[in-house]
Amino acid sequence: MRLSEFLSQSPLYDDLSGSDIDTLEQIMMVRDYHDGHQFFGERSRAESVYLLMSGEVSVTARGRGSRGAAEIKRMKPGELFGLVALIGHERRSASCRAVGPVTAASLPRSAFDLLFESNSPLPQHFRLVVARQLARDTRSLLDELRREIFSQAQSA
Amino acid sequence: MAISADEIRRKFPEIAGRFHGQTLDVLARAFSLHEVPEGQALIRDGTAADTVYLVWEGRLVAFLEGPGMSVELGHVGPGQWVGEVSMLDAGPAVATVQAETDAKLLGIGRREFKELNRDHPEVAGVILRLLVHLMIERLRRADELMLGAAADTGRSTAADEPADHWGVKVYRRLMGLSERAT
């Protein structure tokens, strides 16, 4: 599937106009990845952000509470991954690996920075997309913590 | 009743400084003022929520509501934001937020924010960048807390801190709450 077709059909991107989508198609690179492909590892430099178009990506990190290294999130099609370190200009705090065959579009740091900081129409929509993804990431972690807090409280 | 750009400038110069020219007037007009009497809830955990608030004055406390119990998370006061997750992802509120004192907050709903982003992208862009950097900072610090908790002499960190479970600390951090009322 072409990126433009994917973005047009995904409700997560309904703020993007036709010309926004055309521009993203020109600057993002779509690739197929095999099962087990590591997009990035913990402590690596953040060079790109990825948009998952099909398949699943497992996000794992060391030291999640009492459980040691563990999967912290399973990304689904339409989600962006790799945002936190890219925007924070820090090294990756988690690893991302393909679970089964995956198709994803990547956006290099230079293009991302340009989109994120400028005030023209595409960036204004793109920033909303980025903010929503971070809100979903935050909620996912909050949901996990909520389960942990109440299960601890009930067993105490 | 509304808040003027000058009042925002006087009260929160750091926030006002991010806006140039007349854009602070646009922001002031986009905000609506919410007054919450002491003891009243602004947001209820798990219910529909669509507004991000900037605390103007007063103090609020946040709770997690569970089956037959509630867990106090922390406090929020002037200059702090609440409600950004639900405003952005359209999900339910992630905590109950209740006024500890009479409180005033500036709020902007999802629909109004979308209109602001369409009509005044330079204004909405400043707010979005601010919220994005806030969420990034909170996610990074939450990661550090979780790593620190797990590395703490190798013990199970979830087991022996019932008064302030590590999960509560991380939750508090992710919501940008203070541990103590100030």
* Residue B5 CB coordination number (10 Å): 17
Confidence of residue A116 (pLDDT cuts 50, 70, 90): confident
CATH number of A3-155: 2.60.120.10
Residues near B49 by Cβ (< 8 Å), separated by ≥ 6?
Answer: B43, B83, B86, B87, B92, B93
According to DSSP, residue A43 is labeled T
Task: Determine the distance in angstroms separating the CA of A34 from the nearest CA of chain B, rounded to an integer.
Answer: 29
Task: Determine the distance in angstroms separating the CA of B153 from the nearest CA of chain A, rounded to an integer.
Answer: 12
**ipTM of the assembly?**
0.90
Q: How far apart are CA B92 and CA B85, in angstroms?
A: 9
In chain B, the largest separation of any two C-alpha atoms, in whole Å, equals 55
The model carries a pTM of 0.89
The pLDDT value recorded for residue B152 is: 60
pLDDT in tens, chain B (182 residues): 688 999 999 999 999 999 988 899 999 999 999 999 999 999 999 999 999 999 999 999 999 998 888 999 999 999 999 999 999 999 999 999 999 999 999 999 999 999 998 899 889 989 999 999 999 999 988 888 877 766 564 444 444 444 568 899 999 999 999 988 76
Mean pLDDT for A44-66 is 87
Chain B residues close to A94, C-beta within 8 Å: 143
Is residue A3 predicted with pLDDT exceeding 80?
yes
H or E element at residue A56 = strand A48-61
Whether residue A130 and residue B132 make contact (CB cut-off 8 A), yes or no, is yes
Q: Which of B51, B26, B21 is nearest to B36 (CA)?
A: B51
Structural domain that includes position B36? 5-175
Chain A residues close to B172, C-beta within 8 Å: none
CATH number of the CATH domain containing B36:
2.60.120.10
Please tell me if residue B70 touches chain A, with a CB cutoff of 8 Å: no
B181 assigned to some structural domain: no
Residue type, B68: G
B17 assigned to some structural domain: yes
Work out how many CB contacts closer than 8 A connect A with B: 132
B180 assigned to some structural domain: no
B116 assigned to some structural domain: yes
The pLDDT value recorded for residue A68 is: 60
Is residue A28 predicted with pLDDT exceeding 70?
yes
Chain A residues close to B152, C-beta within 8 Å: none
Parse chain A into domains and list their residue ranges. Answer: 3-155
Question: Looking up tokens 């072409």, which residue turns up?
Answer: A2
What mean pLDDT is reported for chain A? 89
Q: Is B175 helix (H, G, I), strand (E, B) or coil?
A: helix
* Residue B145 CB coordination number (10 Å): 19
Q: How far apart are CA A60 and CA A35, in angstroms?
A: 16
Q: Which residue of B has its CA nearest to A93?
A: B143
Q: Mind listing the pLDDT tens digit for each residue in A120-141?
A: 667 788 889 999 999 999 999 9
The pLDDT value recorded for residue B20 is: 86
Residues near B171 by Cβ (< 8 Å), separated by ≥ 6?
Answer: A142, A145, A146, A149, B64, B73
Q: Which residue of B has its CA nearest to A86?
A: B136
The pLDDT value recorded for residue A156 is: 72
Whether residue A135 and residue B85 make contact (CB cut-off 8 A), yes or no, is yes
The torsion angle over the Cα atoms of residues B149, A155, A94 and A60, rounded to 10 degrees, is 140
Task: Determine the distance in angstroms separating the CA of A8 from the nearest CA of chain B, rounded to an integer.
Answer: 19
* Residue A134 CB coordination number (10 Å): 25
Q: Which residue of A has its CA nearest to B170?
A: A145
B182 assigned to some structural domain: no
Chain B residues close to A126, C-beta within 8 Å: none
